Amino acid sequence: MTTFVDQRPFKKISYYAICSLLAVFVMFLISYVHIISTSLLTEITFINNRVGLFVSSLFYLMISTSLYGLTIMLYQKMNGVFISGMYITVLLTTSMLYALFVSIGFFFFLIPGVILMIVFAFYPFVVIKDGKSNGQALRESASIVKTVWFRLASLTFFFYLLYILLATCFVYVPFIDEMLAQVTAASLLVPFEAFAYYFMYQKGKMKKIGGERRD
CB 180 within 8 A of CB 166: no
Give the pLDDT confidence score for residue 215 in this predicted structure.
55
pLDDT tens string 113-137: 889 999 999 999 999 888 888 889 9
User: Which one is predicted more confidently, 46 or 29?
Assistant: 29
pLDDT of 3 over the 70 cut = no
User: Which one is predicted more confidently, 3 or 37?
Assistant: 37
In terms of residue numbers, what domain contains 144? Answer: 8-214
pLDDT tens string 175-215: 777 777 888 888 888 888 888 999 999 999 988 877 666 65
Residue 1 forms part of a structural domain: no
User: Which one is predicted more confidently, 122 or 87?
Assistant: 122
Q: How many domains does the chain have?
A: 1
Give the pLDDT confidence score for residue 53 in this predicted structure.
65
Residue 2 forms part of a structural domain: no
Residue 182 forms part of a structural domain: yes
**Mean pLDDT value across the chain:** 79
pLDDT level of residue 87 (50, 70, 90 thresholds): confident
User: Which one is predicted more confidently, 85 or 190?
Assistant: 190
Give the pLDDT confidence score for residue 29 in this predicted structure.
78
Q: Model pTM? A: 0.82
Give the pLDDT confidence score for residue 26 in this predicted structure.
76
pLDDT of 14 over the 50 cut = yes
